[in-house]
Amino acid sequence: MNLLVCIRQTLDTEEKIVIENGKVSHADAKFIINPYDEYAIEEALRLREAEGGTVTVVTAGPEQAESALRTALAMGADKAVRINTSAADARAIAALLAAIAKKETYDLILGGNFDVDTGAGQVPIRLAEELDMPHIGPVTNLKVQNGRIRAERDAEGATEVVTCALPALITAQQGLNEPRYPSLPGIMKAKRKPIAEFNGDELVSAELLADTAQVVALFAPQPKEPGRILQGELDDQVEELASILRIKCGLS
Amino acid sequence: MTDSLERGVPMSEKVLVFTEQKDGVLRNVSFECLTAARRIASGGKVAAVIFGAGEDGQVKKLASFGADQVYVLADDQLAHYTPDAYKQAMLQVVEHFAPDAILLGHTGTGKDIAPRVAQRLNIGLISDCTAIDVEKDTVLLTRPVYAGKAFEQKMFYGSRQFITLRPNNIRTKEDPRSGQIIPFPVAIRDVRTVVKEVVRRAASGIDLTEAKVVVSGGRGVQNAEGFKPLQELADVLGGAVGASRAACDAGYCDYALQIGQTGKVVTPDLYIACGISGAIQHLAGMSQSKIIVAINKDPEAPIFQIADYGVVGDLFDVVPKLTAEFKNVISGK
């Protein structure tokens, strides 16, 4: 199977987020592969192990994003591609990834369900549309058989079993697998694997690279009033809590 | 900021809302979208779209929340969601109505279909919005980023706006309109994904993402039985039961109840966290709740830092007492 995994480098949102001058500070930030993209990488590696083939990872971003590709290579990906671009808009990224995807024939394309930093999950689905390919997401279980995939998708409280013919695109949801850690030999090998590079503005038109929206402001959530730990006998606390909530939440 | 605002997209003349149903009932987020649509449209025209036969009651309700027109898409291929069928239907309505702005709920279906339609229309999409403001005739959209640790306010450059709204964040407002029915035949072909089976897992009828009250359990509930008192409290308050990932991983409840970055994102009026420590992934799914109550044995649990009210104690003591107290309060002591 020829597998393509679209990944993105992101700030680790489990760390403290510092906002300075209307921007998130990168000074002490830790950069990681978007956790949902890691599930996608892992699933591709497992499929290759079962079915044979190659796993290519691709990312669109500045030079710094190369370390995300190195990590994916260390996990076991065969090839890596970086699209050099400062574009960040989902429409543009999807168009750029499509340009790379079209250079080869991929049976299955995988991406993460959403990005933990932007909170958006648009790119892989837009990519599927750009390639006129069916998509299934968010996927929690995946099987490939006779040129078709059978995926379980998480549909708000229900699990849907969905099938479709390859080529197709899936987005990975937590629960799909447990991503492996890069092994030491894997890390050593990854250092020698080449990373193909393309310039974004040579892949798609300037019109497509343009932003569709602008961030006008970025701010921390409104600080909450400090909470109150109720005191006294438990029965009194419960009574007080119920009467507060009745008023504050209009429960009646 | 003024400069950028002047370059922004003005308010819209025509706004289209794609509604969504659950078990044959229109979801509340669809009415929230209509209220937002009326705000964006100002004096313009708002149309709603029903995927289905469009019962009289549904059309009337959409009209009462501001729909001038209601497109009825009575096609069997839309009875169950597939990206290919929905995309084709939505594009055909968009072509017919030619909206300046499109809205739908940031639900399982909304998240899955909106990016596809946006890419086909070659436009931007601002997803998961929690607030819509109109300043100097420019529409400003607020959405959470960095797992809820920050918010960004965005505006569109293009001439057509596409927005998904996070459920439970816009207060609906009645605004009666004529609700003129437009039966709209759609041409759907080549649906490439096949839904073989749907396994229903959600137990209660109240949708977790739209519940006004959520009673949620973590590792502290100890086992599946431990969710019983939580369910009783939720029942008294007309709410739904949720869970942290730890409780799901431990097998105390189904993943369908999971609240957090991976599971559902909820914004109820009241969130009662029982035996939940408050890991960041969980907070990302509930920190915007209007009132947060934490019940935990461990006074050092991080959940207390974002709670409005905390009770340090065993949830198995506190929750039944609270249920009894609410029974008294609500029956009008």
| A250 DSSP assignment | T
CATH number of the domain where residue B262 is located? 3.40.50.1220
Q: Nearest Cα to A138, choosing from A155, A126, A150?
A: A155
Domain spans of chain A, in order of start: 2-209
pLDDT at B202: 57
pLDDT of B9 above 90? no
Average pLDDT score over residue span B146-172: 93
Residues of the domain holding B326:
208-331
- Name the minimum distance, in Å, from the CA of A158 to any CA of chain B: 5
Q: Cβ separation of B119 and A160 shorter than 8 Å?
A: no
Last residue of a domain, one of B130, B148, B183: B183
Please state, for a pLDDT cut of 90, what percent of chain A lies above it. Answer: 83
pLDDT at residue A161 above 50? yes
Domain boundary among B119, B148, B183: B183
User: What digits encode the pLDDT tens for the residues B178-234?
Assistant: 999 999 999 999 999 999 999 876 555 678 888 999 999 999 999 999 999 999 999
pLDDT > 70: what percent of chain B? Answer: 94
Q: CA A125, CA A41: separation in Å to the nearest integer? A: 17
User: For residue B2, what pLDDT is reported?
Assistant: 36
Q: What is the mean pLDDT of residues B131-139?
A: 90
According to the model, what pLDDT value does residue B5 have?
39
Query: What CATH number was assigned to the domain covering residues A2-209?
Result: 3.40.50.620
Model confidence at A135: pLDDT above 80: yes
According to the model, what pLDDT value does residue B328 have?
83
CB half-sphere exposure, B180, CA atoms < 13 A:
6
pLDDT tens per residue across span B45-56: 999 999 999 888
**Domain for residue B113, yes or no?**
yes
B321 touches A at CB < 8 Å:
yes
Do B212 and B92 sit in the same domain of this protein? no
Please compute the mean of the pLDDT values over residues B229-243 and round it to a whole number: 94
Q: Do B146 and A17 touch (CB under 8 A)?
A: yes
How far apart (Å, rounded) are the C-alpha atoms in residues B28 and B168? Answer: 8
Q: Do residues B25 and B95 both lie within one domain?
A: yes
Q: State the CB neighbour count (10 A cutoff) for residue B275.
A: 28
Say whether both B231 and B307 belong to one domain: yes
Tokens at A114, concatenated: 């959403």
pLDDT at B330 over 80: no
Is there a single domain that holds both residue B113 and residue B19?
yes
The pTM (predicted TM-score) of the whole model is: 0.92
For residue B262, name the pLDDT band (cuts at 50, 70, 90).
confident
The answer to whether position B190 is within a domain reads no
Q: A246 to chain B: which residues are within 8 Å by CB? A: 329-330
> Which B-chain residues 223-242 have CB contacts (< 8 A) with chain A?
237
Question: Between β-strands B291-296 and B309-312, what pairing exists: parallel, antiparallel or unpaired?
Answer: parallel
Buried b (16+ CB within 10 A) or exposed e, A99-134: bbbeeeebbbbbbbbbbbbbbbbbbbbbbbbbbebb
Task: Output the pLDDT for position B41.
Answer: 92
Query: Considering only alpha carbons, which residue of chain A is nearest residue B190?
Result: A134
Mean pLDDT of chain A: 94
Q: Are B102 and B94 in contact (CB under 8 A)?
A: yes
Does residue A158 carry a pLDDT above 90?
no
Does the pLDDT at position B84 exceed 80? Answer: yes
Q: Examine residue B12 and state whether it is found in any structural domain, yes or no.
A: yes
Identify the CA nearest to B239 among candidates B195, B194, B278, B291: B291
Contact A216/B at CB under 8 A: yes
- B195 interaction partners in chain A (CB closer than 8 Å): 160-162
Q: Is residue B189 part of a domain?
A: no
The complex scores an ipTM of: 0.94
Instruction: Give the model's pLDDT for residue B122.
Output: 97
Q: What is the largest CA-CA distance in chain B?
A: 61
Closest CA to A9 of A57, A68, A53: A68
B192 occurs within a structural domain = no
Q: Residue A252's pLDDT is what?
A: 60
Which residues 22-41 of chain A have a CB within 8 Å of chain B? Answer: 24
How would residue B245 be classed by pLDDT, with cut points 50, 70 and 90? Answer: very high
Q: What is the mean pLDDT of residues B309-317?
A: 96
Which pLDDT score, from 0 to 100, does residue B332 have? 55
List pLDDT tens digits, range A200-229.
999 999 999 999 999 999 999 887 778 899
Q: How far is B212 from chain A (nearest CA, A)?
A: 9
Percentage of chain B modeled with pLDDT above 90: 80
| Alpha-carbon gap, residue B262 to B242, rounded angstroms | 13
Higher pLDDT, B32 or B209: B32
Q: Count up the domains in chain B and report the number.
A: 2
B271 located within any domain:
yes
Does residue A155 or residue A180 have the better pLDDT? A180
Residue B188 lies in a domain: no
Question: Taking CA atoms, what residue in A is nearest to B239?
Answer: A251
Q: Is the peptide bond before B302 cis (omega within 30 degrees of 0)?
A: no
- Residue B194 falls within a domain, yes or no? no
Contacting A residues, span 121-150, partner chain B, CB-CB under 8 Å: 121-123, 125-126, 128-130, 134-137, 150
Give residue B3's pLDDT band: very low, low, confident or very high (50, 70, 90). Answer: very low
* Average pLDDT of chain B to the nearest whole number: 92
What residues contact A72, with CB distance under 8 A and at least 6 apart? A5, A7, A33, A41, A57, A80
Cβ of A210 under 8 Å from any chain B Cβ? yes
Residues B244 and B293 in one domain: yes
Element (H, E) at B59: helix B56-64
Q: Of B183, B200, B234, which one is at a domain's C-terminal end?
A: B183
pLDDT exceeds cutoff 80 at B329: no
Q: How far apart are CA B135 and CA B324, in angstroms?
A: 47
Q: Search chain B and give the residue with CA nearest A138.
A: B112
Mean pLDDT of B117-126: 98
pLDDT value of position B333? 44
Q: What is the CATH number of the domain that holds B25?
A: 3.40.50.620
Same domain membership, residue B76 and residue B215: no
